[in-house]
Amino acid sequence: MTKLHLKAKMQIIGKIRLITGLSIGGSGGGLEIGGVDNPIIRNPINNEPYIPGSSLKGKFRSLLEKHLGKELNKEVITGKNLIRIHACKNDGDYNNCPVCLLFGSAEKEINKPTRLIVRDCQLIDGAEYTKKDLEEKGDLPFSEIKTETVIDRITAQAMPRELERVPAGAEFNLDLIYDLYDAKDVEFIGEVFKCMKLLEDDYLGGSGSRGSGQIQFTDLKINIKEEEYYNSGKYKDIYENINKDAKTVEEIIPNIKEIQEKLVPLIQ
């Protein structure tokens, strides 16, 4: 029988800052925003935009698969869409695959849990804009309208379309949880930050090749929640803000080995 012993949880909190406008589409049904082809996803309670954890996690996985050159050997049906992902077929491959270990496996022969939990990212007051600024000063509450034009190559006819985006400078909270079961999980901690750096050099949401979706992770803080934390609600000094003054992905990556060394006692 399979036995899982959760030794600790690594929490990464911080902010996502938009370098360019962000377009993550929602449902246009019931939104009276006249003429916008691609409305953004919004919280139905307060009308504020947010970044779904599923969008962020899916982008992490896709970029890591591409970076590692993984074969897209599994077909998954989501609604009406067919999506191809990588999935290891046996334990030997799984145990050495960052993609399957981070994001889990539903294969019958393996069936292992995901290590990485990605929360929905809520809009917050940023250094450049407060939420009140975004609500009152945009083309629409909390958003801008970007007009793009498609040119017919034969007739030269211009066909404009409107894209709703959260404007550059807006900020969202970030909350990631990475579960630590054994030494392999500690070994692959760097892959989480690799996903984040790959995304900074790519894009989130739609229209990325046309300028949208460039982001930056800022004000990062890494806390390790182990047995003592869950018994007393207090961190061991060594495990609170373990990244110290390194606040960006680029600053944290060179310190990964030092962080891993501090975690070794947890998994022995």
CB 155 within 8 A of CB 206: no
Residue 259: enclosing H or E segment and its boundaries? helix 256-267
Rg (CA), the chain: 21
Alpha-carbon distance of 224 to 208, in angstroms, equals: 34
How many secondary structure helices (H) and strands (E) does the chain include? Answer: 9, 10
Mean pLDDT throughout 122-126? 95
Could you report the per-residue pLDDT of 2-42, keeping only the tens digit for each?
678 899 999 999 999 999 999 998 655 444 444 566 789 99
* Structure confidence by residue, pLDDT tens digits, 230-252: 999 999 989 999 999 999 999 99
Residue 167: which residues within 8 A CB-CB, separation 6 or more? 18, 21, 129, 134, 138, 143, 144
For 177-231, the pLDDT digits (tens) are 999 999 999 999 999 999 999 999 999 998 889 899 999 999 999 999 998 899 9
Q: Closest Cα to residue 25, out of 162, 170, 155?
A: 162
pLDDT above 90 for 106? no
Q: Identify whether the C-beta of residue 239 lies closer than 8 Å to the C-beta of residue 44.
A: no
pLDDT bucket at 107, cuts 50 / 70 / 90 = low
Q: Is the dihedral of CA 226, 227, 232, 238 positive or negative?
A: negative
